[in-house]
Structure 1
Amino acid sequence: MKICVFGAGAIGGYMGAKLAQVGADVSLVARGPHLSAMRANGLTLIEENATTNVAVTVSDDPADLGPQDYVIVTLKAHSVPAIVGKIKPLMGKTTTIVSGVNGVPWWYFHKVGGALEGTRLESVDPGGVQWDGFGPDNVLGCVVYPAAEVIEPGIVKHIEGNRFSLGEPDGSKSERATALSKVLTEAGLKAPVRPKLRDEIWTKLWGNLSFNPISALTHATLDVLCTDPATRLIARNMMLEAQTIAEKLGVRFPVDVDRRIDGGAAVGAHRTSMLQDLDAGRPMEIDALVRSVQELGRITQTPTPITDTVLGLTQLRARVAGLYP
């Protein structure tokens, strides 16, 4: 089984290193100093109980790697449309694209059934580039839970979590899903195959759509924004708007809003990914995490006044910083 991790930064590097440790046929697509360091010195993974270094096959040109059985995309959501053409050399007749990207996925309405079947989301897939380029039948969903960071080129530090939930758009327990689950499990990762992956997508998105933009606007860490009365209320109202949308789409949440916010507070003084990107001058995942919820509100005829307000403020904050078109 040939596996290519496209976007071998923190999360992709963590997964790639774990697969390489058990001898899987894995290759990585990376760029810049991180690529150069891995070529010269291999990939170093720092975990709580061990630091390991593995030799990895890595390139910035997918044509060097050839067709794969699985291409696991671990880029930020806004980066994916631009690289659809670059992934083509990795795709054979039976290649599965594993969408390990935050937020509402571009394939959300594939095989969902009902009146919205086949609906395309402009906020996460402008012009249908991914839908047309990858083909929704070739996609396997993935909800990514680990936290990791590239602490210097070629060195990835794992912070917490090791679950990559997998799921077919139609909810079936397919051979391709179970085969990938087995390989990831052998690498020491948790990779359950979920019949209702969209429920997990929304449970994770619930926090991301609120905590991330609020932190970017206030520079507050999770423990602060989840306990300060004003920001907690804003997050709660955004989450309730999202819950209304999701439940109209058939989603069921395993916990209530306040418990989810308390879970965020329990993480402690964590700076969200959107705040980290803002501080580092990197593009922010505004569209996949927030604008997608606004678009789904329009589709389901659900008012989203608090989400609209926070979205507008966050977009302007990012534009002022030169990080959003």
Structure 2
Amino acid sequence: MRYIVIGAGAVGGTIGARLYQGGHEVVLVARGAHYEALKNGGLRFFTPDSSETLDVPVADGPVPTRDDDVLIVATKSQDTISALDPWPKHLPVVCAQNGVDNERMVLRRFERVYGMCVWLPATHIEPGTVAAHGHPYSGMLHVGRYPQGVDEVSRQLVTDLNKSRLAGLDAPDVMRWKYGKLLSNLGNAIDALCGRDPGLESLHEQTRAEGTAVLEEAGISYPTPSEQAEVRGNKVDPRPIDGFERGGGSSWQSLARSAGSIEADYLNGEIVLLGREYGIPTPANEVLQREANRYAREKLPPRSMPVAELTALIDERSAAVSR
């Protein structure tokens, strides 16, 4: 199979780089300054063990396709439809993305859709450069057919991942794993807005408690943190890379790059949506969704909101919904 990775940032760049290093055919699809840097200088790929410039084929849009192509979309969720729109609808699509709405969106347009639950600590801030911090594997990736099951395509992808310094797992219940990851990602907005101040622990707890409450009410299954930790073990331990400070997760990176948009509608917003459907208040997630979007839209710097300000906004919203 040839893997066409649409969105060659932190996650897509790492998956593409590792598959390429593993001897598989790969095309990276990027845009703007990142595309120009990849085209002119290759992908500078850094890990805790090595640094290498990879001459991976790159494009800034659709390329002539083959019957054995697999599209791996690793854009942010808000860009999914526009990124996939030009591609042939008979090709299999793997959603290597946070959130749980991408697969459903894509299935409206493509015949075969696969979920990928991504545990992959990586950084992409500078065009042409990706740093993958995980060790000994760069990432752990559960893969399964959407809405459930596995098939020849997903099994082959898992096999190829495991030959490429990535830990791939067959996951017939892949969306269960993605809902578990969603709960972990609810704190991304807190990190992007305020950082990792110890005083934010109670907000993290409130945000996650709202998420678990709506998933329970909706009857949606998800793995517990202990189950996730047991599966990961020490396979993807974040380690330092000389010259790269691991500043934050995907939402932090969106603000750091002044991308103009952020994934909050598909992370905190997913919990807000379910809460409204099932009549459960989600004030912390509402505020995080709103403020993360505002920071992205206004291109405000990451971690520049005072903790007291965020806390006051959530307290105010909590009081309003409890009246």
Tell me the residue number matched to 2:81.
81
2:161 and 2:139 mapped to 1: Cα distance? 10
State how many pairs are aligned: 284
Please report how far the alpha carbon of residue 164 of structure 1 lies from its aligned counterpart in structure 2 after TM superposition.
1.5
Q: Which amino acid is 2:169 matched to?
A: P
> What TM-score does the superposition give when structure 2 sets the normalisation length?
0.77
User: Does 2:155 correspond to 1:186?
Assistant: no
Equivalent position to 1:217, from 193, 197, 208: 193
Please report how far the alpha carbon of residue 71 of structure 1 lies from its aligned counterpart in structure 2 after TM superposition.
0.2
What is the percentage of aligned positions where both structures have the same residue?
A: 27
Cα deviation, 1:104-149, whole Å, max 9, x if unaligned, reads 22335xxxxxxxxxxxxxxxx5xxxx443224xx100001111222
Alpha-carbon contact 1:18-1:187 (below 8 Å) kept: yes
CA RMSD of aligned residues (A): 3.0
1:34 and 1:306 mapped to 2: Cα distance? 35
SS of corresponding position for 1:195? coil
Tell me the residue number matched to 1:112.
none
User: Does 2:224 correspond to 1:254?
Assistant: yes
Tell me the residue number matched to 1:156.
130
Tell me the residue number matched to 1:32.
32
1:225-240 equivalences in 2 (<5 Å): 227-228=198-199, 231-240=200-209
Tell me the residue number matched to 2:318.
none
Q: Which amino acid is 1:28 matched to?
A: L
1:313 and 1:59 mapped to 2: Cα distance? 34
1:83 and 1:145 mapped to 2: Cα distance? 22
Alpha-carbon contact 2:258-2:296 (below 8 Å) kept: no
1:108-147 equivalences in 2 (<5 Å): 130-135=106-111, 138-147=112-121
Tell me the residue number matched to 1:297.
275
After TM superposition, the structure 1 stretch with the greater mean CA deviation from structure 2, 286-295 or 37-46, is 37-46
> What TM-score does the superposition give when structure 1 sets the normalisation length?
0.77
2:22 and 2:249 mapped to 1: Cα distance? 31
1:317 and 1:14 mapped to 2: Cα distance? 27
Tell me the residue number matched to 1:97.
93
2:129 and 2:299 mapped to 1: Cα distance? 28
SS of corresponding position for 1:27? strand
1:320 and 1:150 mapped to 2: Cα distance? 21
Cα deviation, 1:183-206, whole Å, max 9, x if unaligned, reads 111112111011322232122211
Tell me the residue number matched to 2:185.
208
Alpha-carbon contact 1:103-1:201 (below 8 Å) kept: yes
2:238 and 2:164 mapped to 1: Cα distance? 26
1:252 and 1:11 mapped to 2: Cα distance? 22
2:15 and 2:3 mapped to 1: Cα distance? 11
Cα distance, 1:87–1:249 mapped onto 2, change above 3 Å: farther
Tell me the residue number matched to 1:281.
258
Q: Which amino acid is 2:205 matched to?
A: R
1:39 and 1:275 mapped to 2: Cα distance? 26
SS of corresponding position for 2:149? coil
Alpha-carbon contact 2:103-2:114 (below 8 Å) kept: no
The gaps in structure 1 that reach 5 residues or longer are 109-124, 260-265
The gaps in structure 2 that reach 5 residues or longer are 230-236, 240-245, 302-323
Please report how far the alpha carbon of residue 55 of structure 1 lies from its aligned counterpart in structure 2 after TM superposition.
2.1
SS of corresponding position for 1:308? helix
SS of corresponding position for 1:52? strand
Cα distance, 1:65–1:206 mapped onto 2, change above 3 Å: same
